[in-house]
Amino acid sequence: MSIGRDEVLHVARLAELAVADAELDRLVGQLNSIVDYVAQLDRVPLDAEVTPFQPGPAAVRLREDEVRPAPMVRGPEAVAPEFVDGFFVVPKRGGGLVEG
């Protein structure tokens, strides 16, 4: 299966990742080589009895449904790019230049 430029741009949009025109051809080549490589799994016979692996302990422990304070030595105002009056500040939605 071959991935083209449009498909890379589509996936980049899904991943909210800007991709410059200058790097697009190189990325197309590298992504195709990776996807071609992993396609060798098609050679593994998989009958219906083989179920997907489930990671982690068989039974995940559930905590009590209660709010507990996080042990933070500094608050969001110290780590956020912009934090005002208890809110994370971002530009408004919509500007028309980026298609989703």
Task: Tell me the closest approach of the beta carbon of residue 70 to another protein, in angstroms.
Answer: 7
CA nearest to 16, candidates 82, 100, 73: 100
24 and 8 Cβ atoms separated by less than 8 Å: yes
E strand or H helix that includes residue 83: strand 83-84
Answer whether 22's CB lies under 8 Å from 5's CB. no
Q: Which of 46, 67, 84, 86 binds another protein (CB under 8 A)?
A: 46
Report if residue 86 touches another protein, rule: CB under 8 A. no
CA distance 48 to 9: 35
Between 63 and 65, CB nearer to another protein:
63
Scanning 39-98, the segments in alpha helix (DSSP H) are 76-79
Q: Which of 6, 21, 22, 41 binds another protein (CB under 8 A)?
A: 41
Among 2, 6, 22, 38, binds another protein (CB under 8 A): 38
Which residues in this chain contact another protein in the complex, by CB under 8 A? 3, 7-8, 11-12, 14-20, 27, 30-31, 33-35, 37-42, 44, 46, 50-53, 55-57, 60-63, 70-76, 78-82, 88, 90-98, 100
